[in-house]
Amino acid sequence: MPELNPQMAEILALIEEGMKGRPERTSLSAIEARAQSNATFEAFWNADRPSLWAVYNFQLPGEHGAIRVRLYDPGIARPAPCLVYIHGGGWVIGSLDSHDGVCRRLAQAGDFMVASVDYRLSPEHKFPAGLEDCIATVRWIAAHGAAWGIDPGRLAIGGDSAGGNLALATLLALRDAHERPLRAGLLIYGAYLPYTADTETASQAAYGDGGYVLSSADMRWFWDHYVSGPADDEHPLAVPLLAELKGLPPLMLTAAEFDPLLEDTTRLVARLEQAGVPHRYDLWPGVTHACIHMTRMLDVAQRHIEDMAGWVREQLQA
C-alpha cells in the first residue's frame, strides 16, 4: 500500500487546520477562490523563495492585449537557454506570484532563464483564450527573445497541473502549425482529461475526496469554469489525451502518488509510448498535488525540482 511521506502528512494536517471555518472552493466565485488561495497558500509557500541575480517584469504584445511575462535570470552567460513556464491553478486561479518560488528554484537549479507567463484566466476568458496567450508568448520569445538575452534556439516549455495541460496543448498547436521553436516539454502532474460529472479514474476514486490538497470536485469546478460547453470536452487542445501525439519533442512527465490526477499522467505516458514520442516518466512516491511548492517543509520537493531542472538543462545544451 502507498505510504505518505511523513513530512507530507504533517503538511496535510497543517492545511486541514488552516482551512477550518473556511468555505469549500467549489462554493466560491472565481474571484473569491483567488483571494482564498492568496491568503491560505501563496504567502506561506513563497516565504522561503531564493534570491536570484535578477528578476524582470516585461510585457509583450498579444492579439487581445499585452501579456505579462516575468523573466528569472540566475546570472548566466547570454544568450541563455530559457524555459517558458505556464503556472497551474485549474485555469482559474494561480498567477505570476503564486509560482514565483517555483520559477526561482527551477532557474537556480537548472542554470537557465525561466519566462513565466501571465495568461488570461477563466471564467472571464474561457478556452482557448489562455492557451492563445501561451502560444503567442512562445512565438514572441522565439522571434524576439534575443532582446531579453534569450537564445531562441534553446527554448523549452513547462507547466504544472493546468499549466501542464496548457504546455502540452501549446506544443500540439505549434506542431500542427508546422512550427518547432521548442526543444522539450516539462509536464508536472498535469491535467489531460475532461472533468465532467461522469469522469472518474482510479486515482480520482482513491485520492479525490479532498484529503490530498486537490479533490475531484475541485477539478469539476475548474473544468466548468474553463470550457464553454460539451463540445470543448472533446477538443484535443483542451483535452490533450484525445490528440494525435506523434511529432512532439522529448517530454518529461512527473506525477504525485497521492494525486487524483495521477492517472491522467499514466494514461498520457501510455499514449506517448504508442506514438513513439521520446519521454521520461517520474512517479513521486508519498506526496500530493502541488508538492513542488512545499520546499519549506518537504525535503523531497527540492530534489524533484533539481531533477526536473537537470533534465531541462540537458535538453537545452548547445
Q: Quick one: pLDDT band at residue 289, thresholds 50, 70, 90?
A: very high
Summarize pLDDT for 154-194 with one digit per residue, the tens. 999 999 999 999 999 999 999 999 999 999 999 999 999 99
User: In a 3-state reduction of DSSP, which class is residue 152?
Assistant: strand
H or E element that contains 249: none
Please tell me which residue in 73, 160, 259, 264 is annotated as part of the active site.
Answer: 259
Catalytic annotation on 259? yes
How large is the angle between the packed helices 162-176 and 129-144, nearest 10 degrees?
60
The C-alpha cell at 269 is 505516458
pLDDT, position 41: 85
DSSP string, 15-64: HHHHTTTSPPGGGS-HHHHHHHHIIIIIHHHTTTPPP-SEEEEEEE--TT
Q: Which domains does the chain have, with CATH numbers?
A: 6-315 (3.40.50.1820)
* Across 50-76, average pLDDT: 96
pLDDT, position 42: 83
User: In a 3-state reduction of DSSP, which class is residue 293?
Assistant: helix
In whole angstroms, give the CA distance from residue 165 to residue 191: 5
pLDDT, position 143: 98
Mean pLDDT, the chain, integer: 96
pLDDT, position 133: 98
Catalytic annotation on 144? no
* Across 301-315, average pLDDT: 98
- Sign of the dihedral through C-alpha 212, 214, 220, 221: positive
Model confidence at 281: pLDDT above 70:
yes
Q: Quick one: pLDDT band at residue 318, thresholds 50, 70, 90?
A: low
In whole angstroms, give the CA distance from residue 263 to residue 168: 16
User: In a 3-state reduction of DSSP, which class is residue 197?
Assistant: coil
pLDDT, position 123: 98
In whole angstroms, give the CA distance from residue 113 to residue 23: 38
Catalytic annotation on 289? yes
Please tell me which residue in 161, 203, 215, 216 is annotated as part of the active site.
Answer: 161
Please name every residue paired with 85 in a beta bridge, in sequence order, or none if there are none. 116, 158
